[in-house]
Amino acid sequence: MELQNPAQEIDAPTTITIKGILGLLMSSTDPKESGKRVISLGIGDPTAYSCFHASNAAQEGVVEALRSTKFNGYAPTAGLPQTREAIAEYLSRDLPYKLPADSVYVTAGCTQAIEIALSVLARPGANILLPRPCFPIYGLCASFRNIEVRYFDLHPEQGWEVDLDAVADLADHNTVAMVIINPGNPCGNVYSYQHLKKIAETAKRLGIVVIADEVYGHLAFGANPFVPMGIFGSIAPVVTLGSLSKRWLVPGWRLGWLVINDPDGSLMSPKFVERIKKYCDICGGPATFIQAAVPEIVEQTQEVFFRKTINILKQTSDICYQKIEDINGITCPTKPKGAMAFMVKLNLSRMKDISDDIDFCFKLAKEESVIILPGLAVGLKNWIRITFAVDVPALEEAMERLKSFCERHSY
C-alpha cells in the first residue's frame, strides 16, 4: 500500500491545529539519517528549555495549596472566589477602573476561554472577524459553533497593524465580535495605545465586542509597552482572555481567565452573564489546588523573574532577526517586539524544488531535523512562523541549519 505524504493530510485552515501539523512534521524527521537532534522552533512552550522555568513563588504557592488538603474538592464553576478576586486585582493595576471579581471567570487555559467567548456570543447567522494571520483555534472553535469567519488583514510593514477599513467593510448586522491578539501570536507585534484606541472606536461604530487575546500580556521588549485593551472598555465592551501560561512560564498548569471589561454595563446583561455561567457549568475549570495558588502567584512573583524572561526573549528574537537577514530566500518585514514567535516570508522565486510553505517545512524537517510551523496553519500561505522561546545554543544551531537548507534549495 502506498503511504500518503504527511503534507497531503493537512486540511483547510478552519480544521487546522498547530499541534496536529507539528505532529506530522515531527513524524517526518529522521535524526538517525540526518545525524542531527531534533530542534523545534514550532510550538510556544518555553518550558522545553532550561532557561525558562516557573518562579519560586508559583511553585511554592501550588505546593502549599496542595499540602493544605483544603482544595481537593470541586471549585465553583466560575472559579474560587479568592482566585477571581486575585485576577481582578492583578488586571486592575493597568486599568483606569477597578474590575469587580464577578467579571472574572477562571478557565482551563486560554484555549477554554476562547471556546467560552465564542460559544456565548454564537447565534444563528452570526459571523466573527478574525485577523489574518491568526491563532488557528479561533477559526476551529468558530466552525464548531457554526459561526461564519471573516478575515481582516494585518499590515506586516506597519507592525502588523489592523486594516481597520477592511474591518468596517466586513462587518454587518450579524457580526458579533472582532478578535485582537496583542502581543501578537503569530506575528510578534505589540500595538500602540493609539492603534488600540482606533480599534475600540471602530468596534463602537460597528456595535461589536472586542475579544482581546492577551495570553502574552506584558511580554513586550520593543518600543511599545504592553497596553491592555480593557483600558478602552468604556468605548466598546472588551472580553479579555489571558492566562498564567506564558508570563509565568507554566502552560501545563492550564490556568486561564475570561474577563468582561465593561465599566458602562453595555454587555453585562443578566442574560449574557447567565450564558457564561451555564457554559462554565458544562465544561468546568482548572484543578482546584492550582486555582487556590493564584493569589500567592500573582502577589509574590518578583519583578526580577519577569525581567529575566523579557531579557532572554529580547536576546533570542534579536538573534533570529539578525540571522534571517543573512539567509537567502526568506525575509522578515517587521522585527519582533513581543510574545514568543514571529512571521517570516518565503521568497519562492529564489528557491528551487520548493512549492510552498508546507513543502518547505516538511523538507526542512526531513533534511535538517528542524521543526518550523508553515504559515498556512495561521492563515498566511508561503510564510513561516518561527518561535524564539528557545535557549541560545539550540536556537543558533537551528538557524544555522535553516541557513544551510535555504542555501541548498536556492538558485
Question: How does the average pLDDT of the chain come out, rounded?
Answer: 94
Residue 316 has pLDDT above 70, yes or no: yes
Please check whether residues 114 and 258 belong to one and the same domain.
Answer: yes
Is 122 contained in some domain? yes
Please check whether residues 388 and 367 belong to one and the same domain.
Answer: yes
Q: What percent of the chain has pLDDT over 90?
A: 90
Please check whether residues 384 and 256 belong to one and the same domain.
Answer: no
Q: What is the largest CA-CA distance in the chain?
A: 65
Using the 3D structure, point to which of 266, 300, 334 is the last residue of a domain.
Answer: 300
Using the 3D structure, point to which of 300, 318, 345 is the last residue of a domain.
Answer: 300
**Rounded average pLDDT over 62-81:** 97
Please name every residue paired with 132 in a beta bridge, in sequence order, or none if there are none. 153
Using the 3D structure, point to which of 271, 300, 329 is the last residue of a domain.
Answer: 300
CB 294 within 8 A of CB 255: yes
Is 245 contained in some domain? yes
Which cell numbers in the block locate residue 251? 502552560
Q: Which domain holds residue 349?
A: 18-53+304-409
Tell whether the torsion through CA atoms of 91, 150, 44 and 347 is positive or negative. negative
**pLDDT (tens digit per residue) in 265-308:** 888 888 899 999 999 999 889 999 999 999 999 999 999 999 99
Please check whether residues 155 and 186 belong to one and the same domain.
Answer: yes
CB 190 within 8 A of CB 338: yes
Pairing, β 238-243 against β 39-40: unpaired
Cβ neighbours of residue 368 closer than 8 Å, sequence gap 6 or more: 34, 36, 401, 402, 404, 405
Is 5 contained in some domain? no
Q: At which residue does the C-alpha cell 510593514 appear?
A: 157
Please check whether residues 319 and 371 belong to one and the same domain.
Answer: yes
Where residue 148 sits, what CATH number does that domain have?
3.40.640.10
| Residue 11 pLDDT class (50, 70, 90 cuts) | very low
List the 341-346 sheet strands across, edge first: 330-331, 341-346, 383-387, 373-374
Distance CA 243, CA 230 (A): 15
Please check whether residues 105 and 223 belong to one and the same domain.
Answer: yes
pTM, two decimal places: 0.95
Give the pLDDT confidence score for residue 3 in this predicted structure.
Answer: 37
Is 10 contained in some domain? no
Please check whether residues 65 and 177 belong to one and the same domain.
Answer: yes
Please check whether residues 35 and 108 belong to one and the same domain.
Answer: no
Give the pLDDT confidence score for residue 137 in this predicted structure.
Answer: 95
Please check whether residues 347 and 373 belong to one and the same domain.
Answer: yes
**Rounded average pLDDT over 55-66:** 97
Is 130 contained in some domain? yes
Query: DSSP of 299-356, one letter per residue?
Result: HH--HHHHHHHHHHHHHHHHHHHHHHHTSTTEE-SS---BSSEEEEEE-GGGBSS--S
Is 7 contained in some domain? no
Where residue 343 sits, what CATH number does that domain have?
3.90.1150.10
State how many domains the chain has: 2
Please check whether residues 351 and 390 belong to one and the same domain.
Answer: yes
Distance CA 218, CA 247 (A): 7
Which cell numbers in the block locate residue 43? 510550538
Residue 404 has pLDDT above 50, yes or no: yes
Give the pLDDT confidence score for residue 15 in this predicted structure.
Answer: 66
Is 2 contained in some domain? no
Please check whether residues 322 and 283 belong to one and the same domain.
Answer: no
| SS3 category, 241 | strand
- What is the DSSP code (8-state) at residue 379? T
Please check whether residues 180 and 322 belong to one and the same domain.
Answer: no
**pLDDT (tens digit per residue) in 328-368:** 999 999 999 999 999 999 999 999 999 999 999 999 999 99
